[in-house]
Chain A
Amino acid sequence: MIARRLALPLRYAAVIALTLFFIFPVYWLFIISFKTPEEIFHYPPVWYPKSIQFANYHVLFKDGDAFTVWNSLVLASISTFLAMMLGTMCAYSLARFKTGGENLAVWIISQRLMPPIAIIFPIFLLYVWLAWVDTYHGLIILYTAFSLPYVIWMMRGYIEEVPLELEESALVDGCTRWEVLWKVVFPMVRTGLFATAVFTFVFAWNDFIFALVLTRTEVTTYTVQVTHYFGGQSNFWAKIAAMSVLGTVPIFVVVATMQRFLVRGISMGAVKG
């Protein structure tokens, strides 16, 4: 009896302890970004600053470093849009016209398994030749190409779940194939579409290796910018923290607002209805 009465509080205690453990690094990152340099290096550590100050952010905006977040936003948004458009069309073709037979889809997803580092130097040489290094379109095309296999694979699964009769009915009722895609397939797979788009966006947003090799000064992304604060002599922890927060907030907002779609989208393929 007593054991049972204790069980619930104990479970809660365990859950709270675990949550604190995992959330602490995030908290620490945020809190450092609001600290003064003295507070950052103080011993014993300052668990919470006496006053919130925005000097670290102010510097990032004043020096133009914050612009790299904008770069990331532009690259991730446009490449996500392109990958979703092209990928959904490819997926539709694979799902409905059996393009490439049974094996093409597997071959496409296998491209995603390739480690980026393995192909980055050939791509770098190609980009130098094309004069695409340090350009928006260079990275956008690369991110799009790299996300396509994932988008095609996911969207193919969602499209296959759409009852064929819905499309046939629309065809008989007077739609072209393009209209069927737009008026029937898109609405039917929209939750899956959102979920896939979020993951595609996050991939481009978090990319480091491509941006590191293929950018110099013009389209530096925030992930590359953060590394600039690691110096040979010292690390600019305040800037690192503030920049990381700037990079985290947009993705946090996206996921938080889309959470409803995300959960439904991920589980959609699993159970019918």
Chain B
Amino acid sequence: MAELMIRGLHKRFGPVEVLRGVNLQVSSGEFTVLVGPSGCGKSTLLRTIAGLEDIEKGTIEIDGKLVNDVRPRDRDIAMVFQNYALYPYMNVRDNIAFGLRARRTPEAETLRRVNAAAELLGIAGLLERFPRHLSGGQRQRVAIGRAIVRNPRLFLFDEPLSNLDAQLRDEMRSEIKRLHQELAATMIYVTHDQIEAMTLADRIVLMNSGQVEQVGAPLELYDRPATQFVAGFLGSPKINLLPGRLVANGSRLHFEAGDGTSLMLPSHMAAAAHSYSDRPVTLAIRPQHVTEALGIAGPDDVRLRSSIELVQPTGSRTYVTARLADSRVVAEADAHAVLRPGAAIDLAFDMSHAILIDPENGRVFACGIAG
């Protein structure tokens, strides 16, 4: 278990600045997920923590000790790689024992710990096999076994599940979560998959172009994103983004789309958003908060009539793409609702979940869900 502290980290590859002043704190026993689009620098950040990349500027501390110039082997960390990085010429037992033997652990102790790790991961029956005889999921278990057997201070995972098929990925995701609960170790996990980030993380670090965009608990980032980028990155299907302007009407504020369609904001948002009245804004609202209007409207519901462009059933829910002013809005409907492209639909906007973004700097200035 270890605490990690990173301050003002800079890293460049030739002319490209990959990390631009990253600050990050990871508490002991925490599961932190670094997430972001390809090329945002998340893998590089992980590799600098491992000591596999040099840094230009900034500090990395593990348990209060500066490790900038400490070799990877002396940082007491374990890393699981995307392509497993198993030694093809060694069987599973020797692969898992590799790190312990490199550190000259007594052989009896090594074997005891290898067996315990194999037991924990359900691969005790595979110890004599070679990596080429294992399935993708089994290989990943061996790779994880190699990390946990050393009982390091810090675990690093570099997109460990992205080579697996969807079903196996779900299974291994639960496995990793279970491991974290059992080992209570500090883990840092890199992924570009927002579902993995949401399901695994105690805390998500969302990165964009070499900088940390926002840090917080998964639901915090989901409900109260700090920027348009965060709002757009998390959630599937993607959050709806509607350009328009804010119009004051007495004590209430309205969002007005390009064609004059007006959506009234809940009163608790008006205070934060008042200074933006008569200015262009972007309204962000998630598909599950735009629904087919049925029954009695809620207090913050705003209803609009629109026409259906596209219907996408997923089994549990059906997503409907409809038109609103010059934009498209994805709404969520009941899986068994009878919906046809071209038909009219009444949409209910739950404005208590609306998010308002300043289009000039992409920052969120008002959130329906209070902190």
Contacts and interface: CB of A to CB of B under 8 A. Distances in A.
Nearest to B73: A174
Interface in A22-57: none
Nearest to B104: A174
Interface string B85-104: 10111000000001100110
Interface stretch (B17-25, B76-84, B228-236): B76-84
B73 A165 contact: no
A169 B85 CA distance: 7
Contacts of B103: 174
Interface residues of B, number: 23
Contact of A174 (B52, B87, B88, B99): B99
Contact of B102 (A165, A166, A168, A179): A179
B102 A169 contact: no
Given A163-B83, A179-B102, A172 B89 contact: no
B87 A172 contact: no
B40 interface: no
B78 A165 contact: no
Nearest to B105: A174
Contacts of B79: 168-169, 172
Contacts of A165: 81-83, 85
A270 B210 CA distance: 37
A63 interface: no
Nearest to A186: B89
A171 B72 contact: yes
A255 interface: no
Contact of B73 (A163, A166, A172, A188): A172
Contacts of A170: 98, 102
A170 B87 CA distance: 10
Contacts of B51: 171-172
B150 interface: yes
A173 B78 contact: yes
A222 B89 CA distance: 40
A175 B102 CA distance: 6
Determine chain A's interface SS by DSSP, over half rule.
Answer: helix
A187 interface: yes
The size class of the interface chain A forms with chain B is: 10 to 19
B150 A169 contact: no
A184 interface: yes
Nearest to A166: B85
Contact of A172 (B78, B82, B83, B88): B78
Contacts of A168: 50, 52, 72, 79, 81, 85
A173 B150 contact: yes
B224 interface: no
Nearest to B82: A165
Given A166-B87, A184-B87, A188-B89, A172 B146 contact: no
Contacts of A187: 87, 89
A176 interface: yes
B102 A163 contact: no
Contact of B146 (A173, A176, A184): A173
A176 B102 CA distance: 9
Most buried by A among B75, B85, B89: B85
Contacts of A176: 71, 73
Contacts of B88: 188
B98 A173 contact: yes
Interface of A: 163, 165-166, 168-176, 179, 183-184, 187-188
15 contacts: A163-B83, A163-B85, A165-B81, A166-B87, A168-B50, A168-B79, A169-B81, A171-B71, A172-B50, A172-B52, A172-B72, A172-B73, A174-B73, A174-B99, A187-B89
Given A168-B50, A169-B146, A174-B150, 12 more contacts: A163-B83, A166-B87, A170-B102, A171-B71, A172-B51, A172-B72, A172-B73, A172-B75, A173-B78, A187-B87, A187-B89, A188-B88
By Cβ-Cβ distance, the 3 closest A-B pairs, closest first, are A173-B99, A174-B102, A165-B85
